[in-house]
Structure 1
Amino acid sequence: MPIGIAAVSVAVAAFCLLRLVLVQREVRSLARQLRRYNDGESSGKVAIGMPDRRLETLAAEINRHTDLIIKANAEQKRTENELRQAVANISHDLRTPLTSILGYIQLLDSKGLPEDVRREAIGVIRKRTTRLHALLNDFYELAMIDSTDYALKPGRLRLDKLIPEIMMGFYDQMKERGLEPAFELTDNPAEVWADESAVRRIVENLVVNAIRHASGTLNISLAVREGTVVFAMANAAPNLRGSDLELLFNRFYMADASRSGLSSGLGLSIARGLMAKMGGSLNATMQGDVLCLQCVWKLNRPEQDIRL
């Protein structure tokens, strides 16, 4: 073998051996970095000390996996905290009417109780029992919405006819609470592919939420915009300015930390779940001091046949 070729072969072999040694060193380094991370001694990303496309790809995948673990742990912690808060809130919401019921039952056991006091006590018990029944129904429905067994029966639905009908049913209640409804409802056909009972529940939940928490003018609108049907309710809510509005849709969240017992905090969460089931959306925005809750469905055009 000519000396030149032999020298080149030796050089190539030496280079390959050196590169193999360097690669093995980098693999050991990656293993050490990963071990330190697993032992909690490091929280940084793994790094390599030599240019190698395959090692760089390996390090990138390790770092991506590490990021996924961090996100999963954070989500687990958030879920655990939310569950603890949910259990505490459920206990409070159930305990409040139950305590009242037990108190009035003890009152009814009193001897010589005047008839008018007895009737009043029975009325309060009936009211608290109705409230407790509604709470349990809300808890059950919220649990069922996420289930695949919760089936809707969609059909062609004219929201420009249905929503005014629902709103008129709450008109007296809104006036009694000092709310001044201001309607801006489209005269154009607003047909969507949706479940009528689900739409009724969504609108009712939004109205009940407004009756419980809003004051002053309640702006109610229905419009057809760019291939969608938009139903919106807006009212002054200066106490929510600067707040994370997504919390309004969290299960069991209440803006009022005192938890007066007037609301389980489930209504908006149920409404958003039903909107998602129908392929729509429910979101909240702040425009100055005004809170706007907005439901959006796809417009069901005559030439279309939309199905869920």
Structure 2
Amino acid sequence: MDTKSKNSRYSVLAVFALLLTVTLSFLAVTDIYENRAHLQEDYYFDSRSFYDELSTEINLIEDVHVGFAGYESKRMLEKIDSQSLEQINENRDQSLKEKKREIAEQYAPRIQEAQQAGKADEVAKLTTEQANTLEEETKSIQAEWQRSMDEMVASKDQEYEERKNSLSFRDSSFKYFIQDGKRNKVYTNLNQEPTESWLKENALYSFRFPQNVLADSTMYADLNRSFQMKQWKGVIYIPYNPDGYSQIHADATYYNSVRERLMLECGLLVITLLISGALLWYTVTHKAVQLPVVQKSLALLRRIPLDIRIILLLPAIMIYLITAYDMNFFSFPIGFEQIFTLIIMVPLTAFFLLYVLEGWNMYNDSEQFRQQWQRSLLSRQRSLLKESYSNRSVFFKVALIFVLTVGLGMSIALGFVALVERVEELLILTFLYCMFYAICVLPYIFRRIGLMNRLLLGAAQMAAGNLHATVVEKPRGKLADLAHSLNNIKQGLQHSVESQMKSERLKSELITNVSHDLKTPLTSIINYVDLLKREDLTQEDIKSYVDVLERKTNRLKVLIDDLFEAAKTASGSIELNIEQVNVSSLLNQAIAEFSDKIDASSLTFRVNIEQQKMYAPLDGKKTWRVFENLIGNALKYSMPHTRVHIDLFEKNEEVILTIKNVSAYEIDFAAEELFERFKRADQSRNTEGSGLGLAIAKSIVELQGGKLQIDIDGDYFKVIVTFRR
């Protein structure tokens, strides 16, 4: 017991360890895949980050050495480009022109008015005032122009200083020696041009532009093309040891650290995969799948419908991937982020492994898959849809009412919008649709609801036992068909009740008849046995009593034998020896067996056999018993001094026997009741018949594939037996 418990604990630990190693393997795979480019040696110098840094360096070289060439020795106006200078001068001249026009328009009416009045002093004063105002405005515009020039130059100076300082700051990261063929100049922060051998020894990475073999698809193709257009050539390199802080070296160091981490992760991946394989082998060999925790988890999983499980798989995979990609699991120091990642991913790993295990179970057991699929929502909804669509008329009517009702809601909403926005056309359309719904759809719904209520009321009355309740049937529609079917069910139920009552009556008669037919000879036997016990009997009396006992005993034996034979034939448990039998010959033999009784009776038998050879696949002995019972019934129950007609003929691949006679007893019941056991035309039961002959004959005929039926017309009695050829 302790060993079993210990093995169980080991299996649980193995399952948990398997989940952990699989999770670590997936985290390693995702991190390696996401950063796979870092596995390339010197990947940093092929990265977009370094490309941007290099592009910035080249742009700064061009700005400082070309765009701002000789900038410090330039005068103020030379620092501003001609286009900007032209624009600012044009703005100044335009402002002066506008001011002159405004001042002239301001003083012209007053000067003209003074001239017309002949006031020379006023004219001179206004002219002088106009000139002074124009001079002041001109000085103001000129001062504004000067401020704009100073601001533009200051901005240019600041831009130059920023670019120069930025280039100087990056000298620790980049060294360059570039020859400008167009301007015949050299741009460098080195003392001399480095040689290839010197670069191999002292450069961490170097670029020589332009290159004729550089592919157009690489990132540096644009830079190479730029060098060609500028007619530049030279080298840019990153030194092994920077003069000061270098962002390039810091980034390169980080990229190398990522590469080293990925190499360690590759080793960790191999180890975790090996451990996972070993743990998987252990769990399989020790049947860890049978652990209660695994089985309970599978049981919980199976409670979720199969299609919902498949749908849930997608968000679970997305959460798994997002967590694996977003969380920086393989980073130091180890803290809450790593714990949080495992808290999320280990249960998800267990979830996926349960999916795999359940999928394997369903693969091996297709019946389990079929059962789970039958319980799925899609399968159940498909069954519901199939059932609802089985009657297309009802389906489309309900769908149409649903659409029209949704349209009513939408039209009401649009009506409110039209009322607020005062859109008369839309309001009219809404009103017309509501009227259509109220006049056409609502009455239709109410009529169907009324008919449904009548159906429910009628069904309730029928269920309560009122078989005379009737549901009014409308002339058209599926509900009218349902009402008609309900009324038919009522009629069928009435017929069933009547049949049951009839069956109960026949059972009572059966018990009464059996009791009477068995009691009569048994009572006689008991009475004569009591007589035989008397001591004063003569030999003649004893012999007489014994003869009566023998006769009654034989009568009782015949009744019991017939009862057993009737039960066997009705259950179909008798064995038939089917062969080709000459029915004509068999009928002649049966009639011959009854020749003495026929002669002794007052009946006249008329036998008409169409052919002397009429064959059918029958059991001869059982068929002879049928003939015996039918001829015996005719002898027992025919009215004296009448004729009995027996006809045998062929018709439509059938052999047909008819026996017609006039009944000696009034038949005031259905012909089918004569086939019931112990049912006799002699209701007083004075004849010697058992009441089982017709029942036995009918069962034997039907077991051989034939048919036996009775026609009664007043006292005229006709038996028709049909055998298949």
**1:108–1:47 distance in 2 versus 1, CA, 3 Å:** same
Indicate if the aligned counterparts of 1:93 and 1:261 stay in contact, CA closer than 8 A: no
Name which one, 1 or 2, has greater alpha-carbon Rg: 2
Q: What SS is found at the alignment partner of 1:46?
A: coil
Find the counterpart in structure 2 of residue 121 from structure 1: 545
Shift of 1:47: 1.7
* Maintained 8 Å contact 2:461/2:469: no
Partner of 2:30: none
Aligned twin of 2:656 = 230
Unaligned residue ranges in structure 1 (runs of 5+): 301-308
Partner of 2:527: 103
- Do the aligned partners of residues 113 and 70 (structure 1) sit closer, same or farther apart at CA in structure 2, a change above 3 Å counting? same
Aligned to 1:206: 630
Question: Which of 471, 482, 491 matches 1:46?
Answer: 471
Q: How much has 1:153 moved relative to structure 2?
A: 2.9
Measure how far apart 1:288 and its partner are: 8.2
Question: How high is the TM-score relative to the length of structure 2?
Answer: 0.38
Equivalent residue in structure 2 for 1:81, among 505, 510, 518: 505
Alignment of 1:1-308 (within 5 A): 2-14=426-438, 15-40=440-465, 43-48=468-473, 53-214=477-638, 215-216=640-641, 217-237=643-663, 239-240=665-666, 244-285=670-711, 290-298=716-724, 300=725
What whole-Å deviation, never above 9, does each CA across 1:128-186 have from its counterpart, x for those lacking one? Answer: 11111111122222222221434433221111222112221121122123444333223
C-alpha distance in 1, partners of 2:426/2:681?
Answer: 87
- Structure 2 CA distance, aligned partners of 1:61 and 1:288? 37
Larger fraction in strand:
1
CA RMSD of aligned residues (A): 2.6
Aligned partner letter, 2:471 = V
1 or 2 for the larger relative contact order (CA 8 Å, sep ≥6)? 1
How much has 1:261 moved relative to structure 2? 4.9
Q: Is the 8 A contact 2:712 2:718 kept in 1?
A: yes
Quote the Cα distance in structure 1 between the aligned partners of 2:713 and 2:477: 50
Q: Contact 2:701 / 2:707 at 8 angstroms: preserved in 1?
A: yes
Q: Quick check: 1:238–1:290 contact (8 Å CA) kept in 2?
A: no
Higher helix share goes to which structure? 2
1:212 deviates by 1.8
Tell me: CA distance 1:233–1:41, structure 2 relative to 1, closer, same or farther (3 Å). closer
Aligned-pair distance for 1:93?
0.4
* Gap change, CA 1:32 and 1:243, over 3 Å in 2: closer
* CA distance 1:85–1:286, change in 2 (3 Å): closer
| CA–CA separation in structure 2 for the residues paired with 1:271 and 1:42 | 38
Stretches of 4+ aligned residues off by more than 6 angstroms: none
Deviations 1:183-224 (A, max 9, x none): 322334211112212211100001211222233343333222
* Worse-matched range after superposition: 97-106 or 208-217: 208-217
Retained in 1: the 8 A contact 2:679–2:691? yes
Secondary structure (helix, strand or coil) at the match of 1:248 reads helix
Amino acid at match of 1:120: S
Q: What's the CA shift string for 1:52-104, capped at 9, x where partnerless?
A: 51211221222222222111111111100110011011100001000110011
Structure 2 CA distance for partners of 1:241 and 1:29, relative to 1, 3 Å: closer
Q: Which runs of 5+ in 2 are unaligned?
A: 1-424
Partner residue in 2 for 1:305: none
Q: Secondary structure of 2:613's match?
A: coil
Corresponding residue for 2:267?
Answer: none
CA distance in 2, matches of 1:241, 1:161: 33
Secondary structure (helix, strand or coil) at the match of 2:659 reads strand
- Report the Cα offset of residue 282 of structure 1: 2.3
Q: CA, structure 1 residues 219+20, in 2 after alignment: closer, same or farther (shift >3 Å)?
A: closer
TM-score (norm 1): 0.86
Task: Please state whether the residue corresponding to 1:182 is helix, strand or coil.
Answer: strand
